């Protein structure tokens, strides 16, 4: 589900994606176990559940005439839904999941200055009022058991679940929602302009201790699904934060807030600078719902700081110190097939499909730098940067070229992306022509273009993943044919802070997305003129401001889709980013005791989230399998290697 509170959270994600699985049958495992016991039992259940097909993911809204709430200002029809338990019957609770992070966070805060870190979502375990199905986009109960629409088409009423508790044991009531809105998000001391801007459009009122209303002030034109999604807020603990004073964030840098979600930070077990530990909330209130009863099963998640990049992390994985490793890069997938822990069947490989939903991925240009302040230069890069050549040479031709800043954004029966936008093919001569118009008419002794002042057609690309060097090197070498010099700057630690502070020329990276996307944060004048915002480009235009104003008014879905397509066209014309690639599947290797459900994933599930138990709640650890596998390794016994191909129902044909 997508929580409104963190829908625009930036994930420090490298632009690594996934390759086509050339071998193994879809929806099946390969080979057969040579060792009985827990492994054979689990794989038998997996095969039975695969044969049974995907579960019923639907959760249509139903009226509940039996619910009576006192104090409402109008008569309403209460709605709820009943999502099914879609877990595997083999699911077990407990175990420790070991994963890696590249650096220790510089704060435990989830909001305020420099809090947009890769670990943010781990600390931000806040239950939104309702959840959203990643299969059907239908809503279901979460922190609220019911919802109802006001006659004004701006107000939604929520009956809160009276069993919701903060992780410190205190009850979560309507007061925490009103506090979050009025005293926290609207505070001028918060130093979080996006949240200030978003929450000033809302009005939160307490009806009773366990009932609130949330009104969207900007528009009465929204369809009901978008209205509900827009006001789908999450609380903040009033008893923890209190008054938001000036420079409040300094006092809260190393204080993890109480949460209402399934995992909480375990400070006592963590080691600052080395290890983050998150533990499963005991007797979590949401397990009263059948849908959540067997989710978030893993008892403890340990994030070990491992520096040195993916190659080093890969070594830790194959030595058994990490439980999983992403195999998104084609060469890594092939390499895994030859590792003895894979060929002996101790590590399984997993491949799942979903509909591609993606935001901005590729090479971002900082228009505040002299070279990229000229639109002609940026447009020349369309022809000088050979994305397709990179895919063909470095990625086995298995990725799909990305042409826009959005794909797969579908909501309420409306599609928000302009699929007619196409980037030109690599054309060095055309690149030189545009660069000449920008004044780069001289040719240096090394073939790089210069202007009359001696400034070279040269720029630096900042990136953080060492295993992307090969693909970026292809771009670097091809660009020379257009008279352009690309210098590669690998910065495994702290690169994203450089981006946030706009201390870069070009950045190879990507952002998470939401549906519908909110482009104000990315292209507004307000964010362009100051650092530490999500407008990494430092760019704005009067035309864009007009479109963003419409976006912020809460128009109908059809109008919003029209506006978003115009925004995408402007970004294309301005050449603010060179889009990279996309895919419809995710892959990883995991030790045999890490288990996933037979249905793989859901239609619109974020592929980057599928790997992580704090996000994908249906995975689990089987300690019986772990004991059996460790014993097999000790006694030189093996299993047939396994490749699980799941959710092929979403595979792009």
433-463 residue pLDDT tens: 999 999 999 999 999 999 999 999 999 999 9
How many angstroms separate the Cα of 648 from the Cα of each of 195, 355, 413, 443, 651?
Answer: 38, 10, 23, 52, 5
The pLDDT value recorded for residue 653 is 54
Same structural domain for residues 339 and 375?
Answer: no
Provide the token pair at 149: 């629409």
Provide the token pair at 341: 């822990």
Q: Cα(first)–Cα(last) distance of the chain, in Å?
A: 26
Q: What is the CATH number of the domain that holds 129?
A: 3.40.190.10
For the ranges 81-85, 274-278, 367-371, 527-531, the lowest mean pLDDT is seen at: 527-531
pLDDT in tens, 129-181: 999 999 999 999 999 999 999 999 999 999 999 999 999 999 999 999 999 99
Same structural domain for residues 129 and 254?
Answer: yes
The pLDDT value recorded for residue 609 is 83
Q: What is the CATH number of the domain that holds 535?
A: 3.10.105.10
Same structural domain for residues 289 and 422?
Answer: no
- Domain span including residue 460: 361-582
pLDDT band at 208 (very low <50, low <70, confident <90, very high): very high
Provide the token pair at 26: 């879809």
Question: Does 423 have pLDDT greater than 60?
Answer: yes
Q: Which residues contact 161 (CB under 8 A, 6 or more apart)?
A: 141, 142, 143, 144, 145, 210, 285
Q: By three-state DSSP, how is residue 158 classified?
A: strand
Question: Does 200 have pLDDT greater than 80?
Answer: yes
Count of other CB atoms within 10 angstroms of residue 360:
25
Q: What percent of the chain has pLDDT over 90?
A: 82
Q: By the 8 A CB rule, do 520 and 540 touch?
A: no
How many angstroms separate the Cα of 646 from the Cα of each of 21, 249, 285, 490, 549?
Answer: 11, 44, 31, 35, 42
Given CA atoms 356, 573, 387, 492 in this order, what sign does their dihedral have?
negative
Give the total number of structural domains in the chain: 2
Q: By three-state DSSP, how is residue 222 classified?
A: coil
Distance of CA 500 to the CA centre of its chain: 18
Q: By three-state DSSP, how is residue 518 classified?
A: coil
The pLDDT value recorded for residue 237 is 98
- The residue length of the chain stands at 653
Same structural domain for residues 221 and 148?
Answer: yes
Boundary of a domain, candidates 582, 615, 641: 582
Count of other CB atoms within 10 angstroms of residue 645:
24
Torsion angle of C-alpha atoms 66, 70, 74, 78, degrees rounded to 10: -30
Same structural domain for residues 452 and 333?
Answer: no
Question: Does 186 have pLDDT greater than 50?
Answer: yes
Cα 444 from Cα 450, distance rounded (Å): 7
Of 38, 25, 37, 26, nearest to 595 (Cα)? 38
Mean pLDDT for the stretch of residues 372-387: 99
Of 522, 518, 547, nearest to 537 (Cα)? 522
Mean pLDDT for the stretch of residues 270-292: 98
Question: Does 31 have pLDDT greater than 50?
Answer: no
Boundary of a domain, candidates 534, 565, 582: 582
pLDDT in tens, 216-238: 999 898 889 999 999 999 999 99
pLDDT in tens, 33-44: 444 699 999 999
Same structural domain for residues 341 and 305?
Answer: yes
Same structural domain for residues 400 and 543?
Answer: yes
The pLDDT value recorded for residue 652 is 63
Same structural domain for residues 502 and 602?
Answer: no
Which neighbouring-strand residues pair with 434? none
pLDDT in tens, 241-274: 999 999 999 999 999 999 999 999 999 999 999 9
Cα 196 from Cα 190, distance rounded (Å): 8
Same structural domain for residues 531 and 615?
Answer: no
Across the chain, mean pLDDT equals: 92
pLDDT in tens, 48-74: 999 999 999 999 999 999 999 999 999
The pLDDT value recorded for residue 194 is 87
H helix intervals, 145-301: 174-179, 193-199, 224-230, 238-241, 248-251, 290-293
Same structural domain for residues 577 and 590?
Answer: no
Same structural domain for residues 188 and 233?
Answer: yes
Q: Global pTM?
A: 0.80
The pLDDT value recorded for residue 421 is 98
Boundary of a domain, candidates 554, 582, 610: 582
Q: By the 8 A CB rule, do 592 and 39 touch?
A: yes
Cα 197 from Cα 523, distance rounded (Å): 14
Same structural domain for residues 381 and 423?
Answer: yes
Q: By the 8 A CB rule, do 416 and 567 touch?
A: no
Mean pLDDT for the stretch of residues 550-576: 95
pLDDT band at 15 (very low <50, low <70, confident <90, very high): very low
pLDDT in tens, 320-353: 999 999 998 889 999 999 999 999 999 999 999 8
């Amino acid at each position: 589900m997508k929580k409104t509170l963190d829908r625009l959270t930036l994930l420090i994600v490298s632009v690594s994606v996934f390759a086509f699985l050339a071998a193994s049958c879809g929806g099946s495992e390969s080979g057969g176990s040579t060792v009985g016991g827990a492994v054979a039992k689990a794989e038998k259940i997996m095969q039975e559940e695969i044969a049974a097909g995907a579960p019923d993911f639907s959760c249509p809204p139903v009226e509940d005439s039996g619910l009576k709430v006192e104090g409402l200002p109008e008569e309403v029809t209460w709605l709820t839904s009943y999502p099914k338990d879609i877990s595997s019957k083999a699911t077990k609770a407990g175990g420790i999941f070991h994963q890696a992070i590249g650096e220790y966070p510089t704060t435990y805060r989830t909001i305020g200055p420099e809090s947009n870190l890769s670990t943010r979502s781990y600390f931000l375990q806040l239950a939104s009022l309702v959840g959203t199905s990643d299969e059907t986009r239908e809503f279901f109960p979460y922190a609220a058991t019911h919802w109802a629409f006001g006659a004004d088409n701006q107000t939604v009423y929520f009956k809160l679940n009276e069993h919701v508790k903060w992780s410190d044991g205190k009850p979560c009531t309507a007061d925490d929602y009103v506090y979050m809105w009025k005293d926290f998000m609207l505070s001028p001391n918060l130093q979080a302009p996006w949240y200030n801007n978003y929450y000033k459009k809302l009005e939160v009122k307490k009806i009773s201790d366990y009932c609130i209303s949330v009104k969207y002030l900007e528009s009465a034109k929204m369809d009901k699904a978008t209205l509900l999604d827009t006001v789908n807020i999450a609380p903040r603990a009033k008893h923890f934060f209190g008054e938001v004073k000036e420079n409040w964030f300094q006092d809260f840098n190393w204080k993890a807030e109480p949460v209402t979600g399934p995992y909480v930070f375990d400070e006592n077990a963590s080691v600052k600078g080395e290890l983050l530990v998150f533990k499963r909330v005991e007797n979590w209130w949401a397990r009263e719902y059948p849908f959540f009863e067997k989710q978030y099963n893993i008892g403890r998640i340990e994030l070990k700081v491992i520096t040195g990049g993916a190659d080093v992390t890969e070594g830790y994985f194959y030595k058994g110190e990490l439980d999983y490793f992403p195999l998104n890069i084609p060469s890594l997938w092939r390499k895994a097939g030859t590792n003895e822990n894979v060929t002996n069947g101790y590590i399984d490989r997993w491949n799942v499909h979903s509909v591609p939903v993606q935001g901005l991925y590729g090479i971002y240009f900082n228009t505040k730098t002299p070279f990229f302040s000229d639109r002609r230069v940026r447009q020349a890069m369309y022809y000088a940067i050979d994305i397709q050549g990179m895919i063909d040479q470095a990625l086995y031709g298995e990725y799909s070229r990305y042409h826009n800043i959005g794909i797969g954004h579908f909501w309420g029966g409306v599609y928000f992306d302009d699929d007619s936008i196409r980037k030109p093919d690599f054309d060095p001569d055309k690149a030189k022509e545009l660069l000449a118009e920008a004044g780069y008419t001289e040719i240096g002794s090394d073939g790089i273009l210069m202007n009359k002042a001696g400034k070279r057609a040269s720029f630096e690309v900042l990136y953080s993943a060492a295993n992307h060097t090969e693909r970026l090197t292809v771009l670097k070498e091809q660009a020379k044919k257009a008279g352009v010099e690309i210098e590669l700057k690998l910065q495994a630690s702290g690169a994203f802070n450089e981006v946030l502070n706009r201390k870069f020329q070009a950045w190879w990276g990507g952002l998470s997305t939401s549906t519908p996307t909110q482009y104000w944060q990315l292209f507004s004048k307000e964010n362009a003129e100051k650092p530490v915002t999500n407008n990494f480009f430092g760019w704005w235009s009067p035309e864009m401001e007009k479109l963003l104003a419409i976006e912020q008014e809460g128009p109908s879905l059809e109008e919003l889709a029209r506006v978003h397509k115009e925004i995408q066209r402007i970004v294309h014309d301005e050449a603010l980013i060179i889009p990279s690639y996309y895919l419809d599947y995710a892959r990883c290797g995991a030790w045999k005791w890490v288990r996933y459900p037979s249905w793989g994933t859901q239609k619109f599930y974020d592929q980057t989230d599928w790997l992580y138990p704090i996000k994908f709640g249906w995975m689990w650890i089987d300690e019986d399998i772990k004991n059996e596998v460790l014993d097999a390794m000790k006694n030189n016994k093996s299993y047939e290697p396994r490749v699980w191909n799941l959710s092929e129902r979403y595979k792009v044909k």
